[in-house]
Amino acid sequence: MTGDPTIPPISGTAPRCLWEGDTLVVKAGGAIRQRWVLEQTDGEPVLVFMHDGGGAGSRTVAALTALDGALTRAGDPAALRLSLPADLQAVLEAEGVLVTAPGGVVRVLAAALYQKPDLWLRGPGGSRHPQIHTLSHGRYHPRRPAKAPGVLYERRIPWLDRVLSFRLADMDRDLTRFHTWMNDPRVAAFWQEAGDIVQHRAYLENQLEDPHTLPLIASLDGAAFGYFEVYWAKENHIGAFYDAHDYDRGWHVLIGDENIRGKAYVSAWLPSLVHFMFLDDVRTQRIVGEPRADHHQQIRNLDRSGFAKVKEFNFPHKRALLVMLLRERFFGDRLWLPRADPAPKAGA
């Protein structure tokens, strides 16, 4: 785990929450790191600290993990009341995830916690990459960080009870599956990249070498199911169709495994992909997309995920819909968890 260098990983293993009734147990490397209890006080859920079994650094990560688990268990509130030791409270206040109300009531803010990279980001991230502008293909934009190999993001999906991960695509490991997926008629209808393995090797090499794209393989419990292409919008062809900011990002998606389809899976990988893009560089304030204007299922998924429709426009190869999601909305409305479908309009 990387992220804030002052918060090391626990024994090199990401911690995990387990529930024993109302008791939350944080374990890592087979050892119990912390225990908390979720109680009801005056009709309000309160997370109460009970036991600590780790060192200073692991203690912080374990506490952040507990806050994540408790917010989910408590029904996704915007804030959750806490009872914890003063020294741990001071550490978490320094991390920016707590607020103290008049009278001394302490709460964790969900919108702050989920902007901390420490529990989810595995790569170095780009936030510490210096901003130095350059010119390429007639576009003035920041220099982009080098691509880090390996797993870049991990998140346990509560309703699937599986670990979703994104890793950088690897030519030796992924070319064959990428070739198979691209030649699936369902995929080819939208990507229009069916071809032989030589063509697909060249395509993947180009994505790996291009500083403005990040080709990712998405997996559940280590089993690859899709190819996600993250890009910097300013250097992308979409940048010619709106006023792109320096750190806007966008994405393309290919779900190669037929078994990983449907609402339960979309509501896992789509918000997680957005979460990754916002965590990867804190300067990213907007995520954009350009689905085909007639791809109604994808547009419904984007509606459910909080994307706003901006306009339709013409690419050379398709009529597209520009959609956009703001950092403020994603974290403020807690869109990393599934939302109900929008209510139908009266008379519809």
Q: List the beta bridge partners of residue 254.
A: 227
Look at the pTM and tell me if it is higher than 0.75: yes
Q: What is the pLDDT of residue 10?
A: 34
Residue 63: which residues within 8 A CB-CB, separation 6 or more? 34, 84, 88, 91, 92
Measured CA to CA, the distance from residue 68 to residue 191 in angstroms comes to: 36
Complete domains list, the chain, with CATH: 16-117 (3.40.630), 138-332 (3.40.630.30)
What is the residue-level pLDDT of the chain in tens, covering all 348 positions? Answer: 333 333 333 334 678 899 999 999 999 888 889 999 999 988 899 999 998 886 555 789 999 999 999 999 999 999 999 999 999 999 999 999 999 998 899 999 999 999 999 899 998 888 889 999 999 888 899 999 999 999 999 999 999 999 999 999 999 999 999 999 999 999 999 899 999 999 999 999 999 999 999 999 999 999 999 999 999 999 999 999 999 999 999 999 999 999 999 999 999 999 999 999 999 999 999 999 999 999 899 999 999 999 999 999 998 888 999 999 999 999 999 999 887 665 555 554
Residue 282: which residues within 8 A CB-CB, separation 6 or more? 115, 127
Q: What is the pLDDT of residue 18?
A: 92
Among residues 209, 290, 312, 328, the one annotated as catalytic is 290
The token pair at 306 is 């909080």
Q: Is 290 a catalytic residue?
A: yes
Question: Beta strands of 23-127 (E only): which ranges?
Answer: 23-28, 31-41, 44-52, 79-83, 98-100, 106-109
8 Å CB contact between 180 and 282: no
Torsion angle in degrees (nearest 10) through CA of 40, 85, 2, 129: 100
Is 207 strand, coil or helix?
helix
